[in-house]
Structure 1
Amino acid sequence: MPLFIERGKWLGKDKEEIEKEWQERGFTTDIWVDPPGQRWENFVHDTDELVTPLNVTLEIECDGEVAELNPGDEWFIPRGAIHSVRNKSNEIAYWLYGYNISKTKA
């Protein structure tokens, strides 16, 4: 499964602008804070997810394909995809994530 990354989509935008558009698209918006070295491995969700780093580059993986996700990029993770997020920086990472509540299975 290819990585669905929209490069630079949110550069120069604040959390409120991102949250407004995500809500219009049917997604929740929450902020996640990770210490340096934090790894979230092999997650699978029953709904689509969006991820946008705010301050550092994250290493991401989806179904075995690895890439860097830069601040301002938006990553779309399809429902059922095995995915990982890693903060390989030396800084605390702040990133937004949201789930598509309009398509969540009951």
Structure 2
Amino acid sequence: MSSIDSTIAQVRPGPQRRRGSDCAELLTRVRQAGLLDRRPTYYTIKIAINAGLVVAGWTIFVLLGDSWWQLVTAAFLAVVFTQTGFLGHDAGHRQIFA
């Protein structure tokens, strides 16, 4: 047996009897790490910032009037509305509220 084979044999444990699937084990580890816990404070801050950016974007859009600069404002609003969509997605998965 070469040194590489002996190293692999040391790293790989023999077959073990486990209950459940790999996905169930992964889900258990994710839950133990707290990655599925709701974070209402984080989302409250994110929603407030996003709402402020929407108001600011529309205010700038109206104040600019008929100008090519409205295209820049429209691109900004597209990013903000995308963030709104992400917030809606998270709300749909009940990550914000119970």
Normalized against structure 1, the TM-score is what? 0.20
> Which one has the bigger strand percentage?
1
Normalized against structure 2, the TM-score is what? 0.21
Bigger RCO (CA 8 Å, 6+ sep):
1
Higher Rg of the two aligned structures:
2
